[in-house]
Structure formats: C-alpha cells, structure tokens
Structure 1
Amino acid sequence: MTASAASGGASARSTYDDLKALFINCTLKPSPAVSNTQGLVDISRSIMEREGVQVDEIRAADHDIATGTWPDMTEHGAASDVWPQLYERVLDADILVLAGPIWLGDNSSVTKRVVERLYSCSSLLNDRGQYAYYGRVGGCLVTGNEDGVKHCAMNLLYSLQHLGYAIPPQSDAGWIGEVGPGPSYLDEGSGGPQNDFTNRNTTFMTWNLMHLARLLKDAGGFPAYGNQRAEWDAGCRFDYENPEHR
C-alpha cells in the first residue's frame, strides 16, 4: 500500500488546530504521586498536540468534587464542590477522554464519581435545545494489573453515549499487566510502554476521536432535529406516531 493510499490521499488530510480536548485522569492518587494511567494519557495527548489540538487535563483526585447527581452539590448540602468550575472546562472541549485504573475488576471510585457528575449536568441544554453534550465526542483509557479492561471500557463508553457524546469506532484503549500483584504500566520491566497492541489502539483511538470531532465541528454540531427536549415538551413529536390507546 502506498503512503498516499494509507493516509487516504493527501486531499483527505484534515487539520485539527481549532479543536479542544480534555483528559480527566481518574487515578486514586493525588498529585504529585505517579499515576500509571498518566502514561497512556501522555501518549494520546502527544499525538493530539502534534496535530495542533489544544489539550486540557484534570486529575480528578486533586479537586474537591462532591458526591451527588446535581450540577452544584453545595445547593444540596455539600460543604464545597468544584464541579461547576470543572464542568465549564468539560463544555469547552470538543473531545473528552476519561482515563482511569481498574480496581476489583471495575472502574475506580473516582471514575464513577466523575461519570455521576457528568450525568448531573446531562439534562442541561445547549443553545440549539439539545442536551448539553451533543456535538462532542468521547473515548476512554484504562490501565491495571487485574482483569477488566473491556468491562471498564464498555461501562464508560455506554455512559458517555447515554449522556450525549458521540462515540467513534475503536474509541477505547488499555493496558493490563500480569494479573496481580503484577507490575503496573510505568513500572520498570512491565513492558507496558513497549506493548504494540496498546500503542496501536491508543493511536487509533486518538485519531478516531479527532476525525469525528472534525466532522461534527464542520457540520456545525449534531443535527438538531428529532432530539430537542424543548420542542418535545412543547408538543412536537418529530414524526413519532402516537396511536390511540385502546
């Protein structure tokens, strides 16, 4: 295969320097502790930055994110909650990547809290009357030394699409070491950074996120017909037939 065919031809190459991406690292470790998940984040981030994408990053454990499913939990009894400020950074991004470790075969408690807080804002609407996350794309990165990469990815990708994110093909990647207590991704001799399967999947995920974000941005977002909550509440049924109840 020629280089031109492999790339889809020179005319097919897009630019991405007007896109923004946000990585949320859901490690249990606050900074400056070493996060193995960060190793995969760095690979994906570096590809995006080489293409001119503006990249933001949050380590969730560094922030006082209250437990709950309301946009601002201080209005519901929490002493403090930085989620409203973090949510502005979420909305500013065309691409969201949730990254985190496996514990007991599942996503970390920090990952689950972030998903719950994303969910807490999912009923908010954009300026087209769609749910707030429409027109954005999502993916995930998972690391661990116990089974569960695909289980964690399934949970995260389902959650993201349910909230309104568009999910491109092959939008997850992960690394799993020898089942515990094996080495973690960044441990010396783990083989993680050299793993071709993980590196390939991380690269494909990154490009697919950028490709779909490019398509959506060029289209002016996700089409705003048949999915506008305000229109539905006003009685518009978008060709849905409401048969007489018998």
Structure 2
Amino acid sequence: MALFNQIAHRYDSWYTTPRGQLVDTIQKKMVRDLAEPQPGEVVLDLGCGTGNYSIELANYGCRITGIDISEGMLAEAKRKANNLNLAIDWRQADLASLPFSEETFDLVLTVTALEFVSDPRGALLEAMRVLKPGGRLIVGVLSSDSSWGEMYRKEAVDNPESVFAAAHLYGQDELTSLLPNCMRILGGLFIPPGSPEINITEAANIEKARQLEYNSFIKNHAKPGFLVARWNKSHTSISNRYGLAN
C-alpha cells in the first residue's frame, strides 16, 4: 500500500507515546495469552508492518517470517531487526497469495492488518493453508463497537488521508464468522482513548495496565477496543479441507 510506504518512517512514533505504550502492552498480552508461543516454533507474522510482533516473538526464541505488502514498512522492520542482531526472514508479499508450501508454520498471526485486506476470509484461508496440523491461527483486530472504534471513524472523516480511511473495523460476530469453529475470542482495551490515565507512562507497566482495564470494565461498563480470536487446525480434516476444529 502506497499510504503505508509514505508513513513507514514515522509509524513507530506511536509506540513512544504513553498512550501507544499502554495500548501496545495490553494488546501484546492478549495476543500472547491466546497464541501461547513456544521457543523454537516456526511462526508467520502476516502484515508484519515495522516488525513489532515479529521482533517480540524472535526475542522469545521463535523462528520468524514476516510478510508485508509495503516495501517501506519492511525496510523499517529490517533496520530494527538488524540493530538487534535478530535473524528474521522478511518478505514482501500479498496476504492473499503466500509464497509458502502447505503446512509450513506452527503459528500464524496477524495483528491490525486484516482491517486493510479486501478479502479477509480468503486471506485467513490462505493462512490456514500454510499452518501445520495442530497449529494455531491468531487474529487481532480493532473493534468497531467501542469508543476506540468511534475515534478511528472520526479520524477517517476528519482526515481522508489517514490510514483509517481505508480500514474496516470488526465486530465480534463478524470476526468469528470469517472461519468456522473459532476456538476462543478475547476482548480488551477497555480503557477509553479519552481517559486521562492513558497518558501516564507508568500505565504501560503490565500490572498497572491490568488495573486500568479492570476499572474501566467494571466501573464504566466499557466495550473492548481490541479483539483477538484463535482458530486451531486439527490433525484430521473434519470440518473443511483445512481441518478447522475446536
């Protein structure tokens, strides 16, 4: 995407802000909880962007391949990984047509990338194709039914050149309907974007983030701004050619 090429050099500036650090902390914990990555596993990061999750999992001991369609985003990812002496296989490719054989990866994940895919179900079927039997597919998306979704929609209206002008946000039912037999879905990022606490650097601490999440969920009845879903690929094909099962 040309738009992501244009913003690649400043994309990571979000993670240097207190709000960005808090959101990243919450989202990464949700993804880890569902993905259950193990050192040595072969992992594919679809729509890897500047390598946020690829680098995280490489540091954990996984063998990572990162895929993105944006040359600019991949250049940033490569630069960061090289600075950390991490051996990650970066490839420019379309999520709709992955350059891998069937049953190659133990874990496939895609985080805040499906929002920009024209055929999301086709992309997930392609992800399932390259997943080994017994493997996990993890999908993290921005939730449409939340204060965060409202913020992203407003940004798209106010700034037609924003990446969110091209984004499709997801509700829980829509996300789980993309493939059959979703094993589990998590909702998080309950703290609203306008909360004064979100701009406190300390909030990026995991325990502090948990406290803020709990308070927002219990006291404010907030709806989740981020959804993470998991599908397992069974060893025997019982529901379709890719063996999706609970």
Q: Same fold by TM (over 0.5)?
A: no
Per the normalisation by structure 1, the TM-score is 0.39
Per the normalisation by structure 2, the TM-score is 0.39
Greater gyration radius: 1
- Which structure has more helix as a fraction of its residues? 2
- Which structure has more strand as a fraction of its residues? 2
Q: Which one has more relative contact order, counting CA pairs under 8 Å at least 6 apart?
A: 2
